[in-house]
A = this chain, B = another copy of it.
Amino acid sequence: MDQTTLIGLLAATCTTAAFVPQVIAILRTGNVDGISVMMYSIFTVGIALWLSYGIKVNDLPMILANSISLLLAISVLSLTVFKRWQKKKNPCEESQIATA
């Protein structure tokens, strides 16, 4: 494998795997306060478009990498929206328990 291909593979691995710690952090802490929903909405559309592009040009590594990225981006987006909705629904959840 030549050096350029290796750099490309490492790059794809990093930009795809990067979202795993974000998903884990949300699942572990439930804190999504600083995460921009707008960012993940635009990013998810972008990754879906990269996937379409990969299918159009029939590039298997591009299809695989973007399929995984799409799943991870959708996970962060849906978890963020869900946690924020949950917080909005029960804004005083902790104090309600404390005063029950």
B residues less than 8 Å from A56 (CB atoms): 3-4, 7
Known: A43-B14, A43-B15. A4 touches B50 (CB 8 A): no
Q: Bound state CA distance, A58 and B21, in angstroms?
A: 32
Interface residues on A, range: 35 or more
Given known contacts A17-B42, A18-B46, A42-B18, is B34 in contact with A33 (CB within 8 Å)? Answer: yes
Of all chain B residues, the one with the shortest Cβ separation from A56 is B4
The residue in chain B whose Cβ has the minimal distance to the Cβ of A14 is B46
User: What residues make up the interface of A, taking CB atoms closer than 8 Å to B?
Assistant: 3-4, 7-8, 10-22, 24-26, 29, 31-36, 38-40, 42-43, 45-47, 49-50, 52-53, 56-57, 80
